[in-house]
Chains A and B, each alone.
Chain A
């Protein structure tokens, strides 16, 4: 059974906050897709605290918990030549350490 350190801190971001996804460098076993790195978006939901997948991926005994957010992005902000209408979007679940305030 992997032990984890319960992260007792509060989430840094709240719903509605504008954020930017960090550009990198990617960690080992990174769950922040390349196509979202460096892109601005907004927090739509705080999903809770989850065990750090980068630590779980290497059988680590002590695994920290990280706040996870569902983040909303406009397609036109992600792809310079997006072919669909302006209102189209992407949402993804991003870990706190990958987000900075916009």
Chain B
């Protein structure tokens, strides 16, 4: 039976990397954005749907993407699923941001 990418209990693993770092500003912003989006005041989507969106990623993406990167991609997917933002406007804004930086 095929396991989902996140269902890792009992699989082989390596020595645990115990290095710690303070949360970067990017991580803090993504964390805060998620907490607000799932809060009762906003309720953009459920935390369960966030987990589900992450579970839908490929094994490759799941292992290579950073923890908060996974969150950001999932947040994007869910905001589009719920019709809160569209892929087009996100793409347009990303282009604009790149253009501003030139």
Contacts and interface: CB of A to CB of B under 8 A. Distances in A.
Judge A-B direct contact (beta carbons within 8 Å). Answer: yes
Contacts of A35: 9-10
Contacts of B4: 26, 30
Contact of A29 (B3, B9, B51): B51
Interface stretch (A13-21, A40-48, A54-62): A54-62
B97 interface: no
A24 B1 contact: yes
A57 B49 contact: yes
B86 to A, nearest CB: 17
B45 A59 contact: yes
Given A33-B7, A34-B7, A34-B9, A26 B1 contact: yes
B92 interface: no
Given A34-B7, A79-B10, A29 B1 contact: no
Contacts of B46: 2, 56-57, 59
A8 interface: no
B10 to A, nearest CB: 4
B55 interface: yes
Nearest to B82: A59
Interface residues of A, number: 20
A57 B52 contact: yes
B18 to A, nearest CB: 21
A86 interface: no
A78 B9 CA distance: 11
B33 to A, nearest CB: 18
Contacts of A30: 4, 7
6 contacts: A29-B51, A34-B7, A35-B9, A35-B10, A56-B48, A57-B52
Given A2-B46, A25-B1, 16 more contacts: A1-B43, A26-B4, A28-B52, A29-B48, A29-B55, A33-B9, A34-B9, A35-B9, A56-B49, A57-B49, A57-B51, A57-B52, A58-B49, A58-B52, A59-B45, A59-B81
